[in-house]
């Protein structure tokens, strides 16, 4: 059972990236987490891809844009981020005086990993007259090399906010990039990165599923590959997809994104049916292995011992903040 002090906890985190101690199984973790939130003036921000228990105890659940906006404006002393590393890092970049906690530092992102800053810097040098728009799913190092950040909910507006003759590099997601090229008619240079979860969907299996559920609408995240997006009735960020299912008249949906979002869809529309789009193998690979590293136990431990904490080099933070600020400013202009 838990026998830690703050010092031991920090040492444990430096070895494994999270607190690997057994939690008393009789503890009511929901009540304990609520208590810790009050005691420490902490806010718990969670992404829709987190496990249902974490979503249920969160103060705010949202997409990447909503989470960044909440992190920027909060007055809490501690931001507990139930999401992946680039999201918690963005919170720290935007609100550096707060302590930002991530339950497991190993919660990375295959998309962010697909763009190492050194390689990207060399790539960028080949296009000196291009502006760089980077998807928020990237490291602070990539953000620092970018002119504007975007998320899936504002990407189209961000691209269109630039003059038509402005040459653009889009990184790191080639699928979102290709979708934006199609939507905006802009010919952008794309970095060759992708999300392991959104590339797993099987067109063949989704088509067969649709034959068995002819009234179901297919909804997809723009990180999916083009053949999946082509057959989708609606494409949007996680918040966009959730809102669509709340206002649309259909009662059945095939959902091509990470399965965590189904929890809120089902909660908001209990009378509707949501079917996870099948992946191209037999495992549940449309669960993000990074997002799902966070558990209720790790969340409780990280709040109790205030570690793992996100720390950043100040120069890197300032360089990474500029393009995020630009994104937030443009988003505000469009009421996003």
Among 32, 51, 89, 223, binds ligand 13P (CB under 6 A): 223
d(C-alpha 255, C-alpha 216), whole Å:
10
- Show contacts with ligand 13P in window 175-214 (CB under 6 A): 195
**Residue with smaller CB distance to ligand 13P, 213 or 243:** 243
Among 124, 169, 154, which residue's Cα sits nearest to residue 63?
A: 154
In sequence order, what DSSP letters do the residues of 238-263 get, joined into one string? Answer: HHHHHHHHHHSS-SEEEEES-TTHHH
CB of 151 to ligand 13P, least distance (A): 5
Pick what 82 binds: ligand 13P, ligand SF4, none; C-beta below 5 to 8 Å, kind-dependent: none
Pick what 201 binds: ligand SF4, ligand 13P, none; C-beta below 5 to 8 Å, kind-dependent: none
Count of residues that bind ligand SF4 according to CB under 6 A: 13
- Show contacts with ligand 13P in window 62-91 (CB under 6 A): 63-64
Among 162, 178, 189, 196, binds ligand SF4 (CB under 6 A): 196
Under the criterion CB under 6 A, does residue 197 sit at the interface with ligand SF4?
A: yes
Cβ contact 311:134 at 8 Å: no
Is residue 191 within a helix (H) or strand (E), and if so which, with residue range? none
d(C-alpha 153, C-alpha 75), whole Å:
25
| Beta-carbon-side half-sphere exposure of residue 156 (alpha carbons within 13 Å) | 13
d(C-alpha 174, C-alpha 103), whole Å:
29
Under the criterion CB under 6 A, does residue 288 sit at the interface with ligand SF4?
A: yes
Q: Tokens for 221, please give them.
A: 């995240």
Among 81, 70, 77, 80, which residue's Cα sits nearest to residue 41?
A: 77
Among 95, 137, 146, 161, binds ligand 13P (CB under 6 A): 137
CB of 32 to ligand 13P, least distance (A): 27
d(C-alpha 198, C-alpha 195), whole Å:
6
Pick what 196 binds: ligand 13P, ligand SF4, none; C-beta below 5 to 8 Å, kind-dependent: ligand SF4
Residues that bind ligand SF4 (CB under 6 A): 49, 84, 109-111, 137, 195-197, 258, 288, 290-291
**Interacting residue ranges for ligand 13P, rule: CB under 6 A:** 63-64, 137, 151-152, 195, 221, 223, 237-238
């Amino acid at each position: 059972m838990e026998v830690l002090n703050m010092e031991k906890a920090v040492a444990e985190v430096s070895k494994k990236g999270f607190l690997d101690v057994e939690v008393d199984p009789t503890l009511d973790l929901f009540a304990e987490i609520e208590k810790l939130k009050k005691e420490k003036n902490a806010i718990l921000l969670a992404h829709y891809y987190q496990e249902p228990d974490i979503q249920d105890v969160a103060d705010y659940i949202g997409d990447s844009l909503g989470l960044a906006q909440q992190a920027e404006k909060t007055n809490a002393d501690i931001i507990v981020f139930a999401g992946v590393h680039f999201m918690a890092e963005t919170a720290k970049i935007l609100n550096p005086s707060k302590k930002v906690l991530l339950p497991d530092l190993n919660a990375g992102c295959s998309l962010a990993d697909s763009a190492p800053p050194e390689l990207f810097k060399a790539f960028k040098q080949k296009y000196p007259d291009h502006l760089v728009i980077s998807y928020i799913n990237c490291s602070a190092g990539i953000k620092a090399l970018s002119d504007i950040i975007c998320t899936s909910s504002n990407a189209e507006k961000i691209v269109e906010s630039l003059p038509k003759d402005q040459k653009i590099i889009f990184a790191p997601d080639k699928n979102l990039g290709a979708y934006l090229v199609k939507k905006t008619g802009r010919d952008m240079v794309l970095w060759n990165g992708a999300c392991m979860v959104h590339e797993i969907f099987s067109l063949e299996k989704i088509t067969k599923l649709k034959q068995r559920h002819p009234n179901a609408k297919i909804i997809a995240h723009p990180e999916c590959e083009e053949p999946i997006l082509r057959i989708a009735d609606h494409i949007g960020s996680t918040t966009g997809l959730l809102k669509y299912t709340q206002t649309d008249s259909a009662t059945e949906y095939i959902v091509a994104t990470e399965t965590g979002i189904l929890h809120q869809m089902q909660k908001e529309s209990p009378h509707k049916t949501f079917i996870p789009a099948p992946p191209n193998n037999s495992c549940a690979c449309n669960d993000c292995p990074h997002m799902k590293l966070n558990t209720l136990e790790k969340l409780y431990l990280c709040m109790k011992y205030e570690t793992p904490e996100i720390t950043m080099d100040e120069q890197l933070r300032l360089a990474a903040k500029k393009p995020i600020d630009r994104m937030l400013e443009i988003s505000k202009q469009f009421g996003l």
